[in-house]
Structure formats: structure tokens, C-alpha cells
Amino acid sequence: MLKNYKILTVTHKKTNTEDIADFIVPTDDKAELASRLAAIKASCGLEELMYLATCNRVLFLFSGKIQLDSPFIRFFFQSVNPKLAQGSVDYISENVQSFEGSKAIHHLYEIAASVDSMVVGEREIFRQLREAYEECRSYGLLGDNIRIAMQATVEVAKEVYAKTRIGEKSVSVVSLAFRKLQETEVPASARFLIVGAGKTNRLFSKFMLQHKYQNVVVFNRSIGNAELIADRLGAEARMLSELENYEGDFDVMVVCTASVEPIITQELYEKLTRKVAKKRIVIDLSLPNNISGEVVENFDFQYIDIEKLRQLAKENMAFRMGEVKKARQLIVKRVEGFKMRFRQRQIERAMSDVPTQIKAIKSHALEQVFKNELDKLDPEARELLDRMMDYMEKRCIGIPMMAVKDAYRKLHQGSKPKTQIPKSKSQK
Ligand SMILES: NC(=O)c1ccc[n+]([C@@H]2O[C@H](COP(=O)([O-])OP(=O)(O)OC[C@H]3O[C@@H](n4cnc5c(N)ncnc54)[C@H](OP(=O)(O)O)[C@@H]3O)[C@@H](O)[C@H]2O)c1
């Protein structure tokens, strides 16, 4: 039954990243994860179980005849994480959202189409959802119900990405910065100075790697983090304190640290450029800015700064949000379609043993009911009868399934039923 689909989820909408961690199966080991999920499935009486954990979402999609009430949800999450605040019903009910039946399918579609994401339109969640499915399938946790739900989910997400512009126009400041840099057509041989080696510059360096910039020196307060980026790019890592004595000049400088004071002062900038004028690009992704106002004012370079990028990111996000309405309309329609698909699948499943039953009836007739009469037939008559019986068996097997499909087609599309006995090869 459709209502056997259930979702229990904790997301950025209800809580923060640290609290989400309490609802995750606490292990990094795949084999252990598989056996823990199998244990949860068994102890909670579930037929199928799929698990997805990202940094801002944990989701359990399952099918089963259980009642999705408060005692069950409590028992469920204490099975997921036995260290979870014991007996704290409030804690769970404040954080966990539950969905059942077509609402669960609707939620699944919204996740895959990134309508429910922290950053609307980011397709990463679609990839993560498909990976979670494949992983749980490989653990032997899934069956036909989740298979058809996920098959439909993939189709819906593809349709939303194709028919709306929800995933267009970047909303990441870092990728916007990189795009601006590319517009300048800076050559791959350009000398880059990267100042700061936190999350932001690490992300920036990923884009650099894709575009094969290799003439790079990374400066950072601690050498370990500088080396992380430098190793990735095949670059040189240096302490930030060495920057003032650096004599290699640069074409592009990317600055991003959490310092609240400007790092690139007028004096330092003069030293770095040795007052030699040339076309340079300076990118400052820090908040507050790490390039001092004086430098921006007094020197001539192409400046890419975070404020303009943030404004652009905001406009792009507003554009994506405008596409959400279209995505939701598609999703609602598709949920209705799934209800019919699910019913049809139920009948297909029920019909799946029709061929076996027909074969059994035939054998019973030949070997028991009419055995004595058949034994009296001459070989030619017997051979003819066997051929007729085989023919009848083949022709009869497809009839019930086609009749059901036609009835559905008629019911939902108003078309005439097309049921007819399929032609055998010899008749065609
Ligand atoms: N994360 C984003 O999506 C994002 C986007 C746009 C802008 N920003 C801005 O980018 C800046 C850094 O963010 P993040 O996420 O990269 O931070 P992060 O991962 O915490 O890294 C901070 C970086 O700044 C360095 N640092 C911290 N204090 C410093 C100081 N007083 N002097 C010199 N270096 C210092 C750290 O050096 P160590 O390695 O030695 O600790 C590290 O390289 C912030 O201003 C933030 O507002 C972040």
C-alpha cells in the first residue's frame, strides 16, 4: 500500500548541523553501517530501508506496515543512535519530520529536485540521493517499493532540471569569483599568489586545478593548511610571515583569511609589486576585506571583491527561487502519476505468478485429470494435443496482464481498451 512509504528526516530546516549529527548512524565504516542498518530494519519491523546522510540532512526512507507515531519514532532514533538523549521525546519531536504515503513520495521528489535544499537548485543532493540508493541496495536493504519510488524520483528530478532553470546561475561566491577570473582570459602560465588556506581558498583551488593553473605559491599562517592546497596544485607552500619578503611578483592574487585586519596593506603591496606596473588581478573573498581600502584606491589592478559577488549571488538565488514554483507544479503532477503507477505495479506483482499457475493447471490436466484418456491416444493425436496445449498456455499467459493494463489506460486516459489475444508467430 502507498501508505507504507514512510520518511523520517532531520534537516537544516528544523535544526543546525551539530544537532543533525545526533541522528546519523554513528560510524564511518561501510561494513559496520550495513550491519547497523540491517539491525535497525529488523528491530523496527521494516520491509525496506534506505539511508541518506549529508552535512545538512539525514533521511530514512522505508516501507513497512508500522504506525509512524511518537513511540515508534523515539524507538527508531534510539536504535539509530543509542547515545541519543535517552527518553527525550521533546528533543526528537522538535527535530524530526515524518512523512507517510504520497506525502513521503512528494518529499522525496522535492529533495531530488533540490527544492528542499539549503541552497535551492544545487544538484549535489540528487547525486547523493542516487548514491545512497545504490549503497543501500548493495547492502541488501531494499526491495521493489523503494526501487520504483527511486526510479520515479530520478525521472522527476531530471524533468525539473530540464524544464525549469532552478539549477542555473551560480549562487556560490567562490564559483562566481572564478568565473569572473576566467572572463579576464588569464593564461594558464600566470603566477598566482594564494593568501590564506581555509575552506574558501581550498574550494577556489579546486577550480584552479580543473583549469590547470600550476604556477602558484600558497601563503598561510600555518604551513600545514598551505600544504594541503599546494599539494593539490603542485605548488609551493610558505608561511604568511614570509610574504613581505617574497620577490616573485604575481599576475593574480587571491586573498581570503578570517583576519579582521587587512593583510595586504599599502606597504606590503608596494613591496610585492616592487612598484612595477603591469596588468594584475586581485581577488578578495574575505569578510571583512583583507585588501586594504588604500590599496584598492591607489593601485591599478582588476579588482574582484566579495561585495559585488555577494550581490550577484543574491540576485541569482532570487532567480532560482522564482523557478521553485514551476518545479513544485511539476512535482505535484508527478506525485499523482506515481499513485497510478504504484497501483499498477501492485497488480503486476499480484499477477506475477499467473504463468506458474497456468503451467501447473496444464500439468495437472495432462498428468492426472485426463491421464487415462490421453494414454489411449495414438502418437500423432497425442503430439497434436500437446502442441495445442502449449499454444493455449502461451496465449493465455499474457491475457490477464493486458486486460489490467488496458483497464487502467481506459480509466486514466479515457482511451478504448485494446485487449486482444496476442498473435502467435505462426499466425503473423
Ligand atoms: N566559506 C565560505 O563559503 C565563504 C564565502 C565567502 C567568504 N568567506 C569569508 O572568507 C573568510 C575565510 O573563510 P573560510 O571559510 O575560508 O575560513 P576558515 O576555513 O576558517 O579559514 C580561515 C583562514 O584564515 C586564516 N586566518 C585566520 N585568522 C587569521 C589571522 N588573524 N591572520 C592571518 N590568517 C588568519 C586561517 O589560517 P590557519 O590555517 O593558520 O588557521 C585560514 O587560512 C572569512 O572572512 C569568510 O567570511 C567565506
In a domain, 54, yes or no: yes
State which of 273, 296, 311 marks the end of a domain.
311
In a domain, 210, yes or no: yes
Which pLDDT score, from 0 to 100, does residue 92 have?
86
In a 3-state reduction of DSSP, which class is residue 159?
A: helix
Low-confidence ranges of the chain (pLDDT < 50): 415, 417-419, 421-428
Which pLDDT score, from 0 to 100, does residue 8 have?
97
Tell whether 94 and 150 lie within a shared domain: yes
Strands 252-255 and 216-220: unpaired
Tell whether 105 and 22 lie within a shared domain: yes
Provide the CATH number for the domain around residue 246: 3.40.50.720
Q: Tens digit of pLDDT for each residue in 182-205?
A: 999 899 999 999 999 999 999 999
Which pLDDT score, from 0 to 100, does residue 421 have?
43
Tell whether 108 and 23 lie within a shared domain: yes
State which of 137, 163, 189 marks the end of a domain.
163
226 lines ligand 1 (CB under 6 A): no
In a domain, 29, yes or no: yes
C-alpha cell recorded at residue 133? 540508493
289 lines ligand 1 (CB under 6 A): no
256 lines ligand 1 (CB under 6 A): yes
* Atom of ligand 1 lying closest to residue 224 CA: 39
Tell whether 158 and 186 lie within a shared domain: no
Which pLDDT score, from 0 to 100, does residue 219 have?
98
Cα dihedral across residues 178, 184, 190, 192: positive or negative: negative
Tell whether 17 and 111 lie within a shared domain: yes
Q: Tens digit of pLDDT for each residue in 350-360?
A: 887 888 888 99
Q: If you measure from the C-alpha of residue 260 to the centroid of ligand 1, how many angstroms do you get, rounded to a whole number?
A: 10
CB atoms within 10 A of CB 329: 12
Check if the beta carbon of residue 366 is closer than 8 Å to that of residue 393.
no
In a domain, 335, yes or no: no
Tell whether 156 and 195 lie within a shared domain: no
Q: Is this model's pTM higher than 0.75 or not?
A: yes
Tell whether 152 and 232 lie within a shared domain: no
186 lines ligand 1 (CB under 6 A): no
User: What is the number of domains present in the chain?
Assistant: 3
C-alpha cell recorded at residue 247? 620577490
Its domain, for residue 420, covers 357-427
Which pLDDT score, from 0 to 100, does residue 82 have?
86
Which pLDDT score, from 0 to 100, does residue 339 have?
95
Tell whether 130 and 192 lie within a shared domain: no
Q: If you measure from the C-alpha of residue 221 to the centroid of ligand 1, how many angstroms do you get, rounded to a whole number?
A: 10
262 lines ligand 1 (CB under 6 A): no
Q: If you measure from the C-alpha of residue 245 to the centroid of ligand 1, how many angstroms do you get, rounded to a whole number?
A: 22
Tell whether 183 and 245 lie within a shared domain: yes
In a domain, 331, yes or no: no
Tell whether 36 and 123 lie within a shared domain: yes
Tell whether 147 and 129 lie within a shared domain: yes
Q: If you measure from the C-alpha of residue 256 to the centroid of ligand 1, how many angstroms do you get, rounded to a whole number?
A: 6
Q: If you measure from the C-alpha of residue 15 to the centroid of ligand 1, how many angstroms do you get, rounded to a whole number?
A: 25
196 lines ligand 1 (CB under 6 A): yes
Which pLDDT score, from 0 to 100, does residue 86 have?
67
Cα dihedral across residues 38, 150, 316, 318: positive or negative: negative
Which of 118, 244, 257 to mutate for ligand 1's pocket (most ligand atoms within 8 Å of CB)?
257
Q: Is 180 left (phi over 0), alpha (psi -120 to 50) or beta?
A: alpha
Which of 55, 200, 306 to mutate for ligand 1's pocket (most ligand atoms within 8 Å of CB)?
200
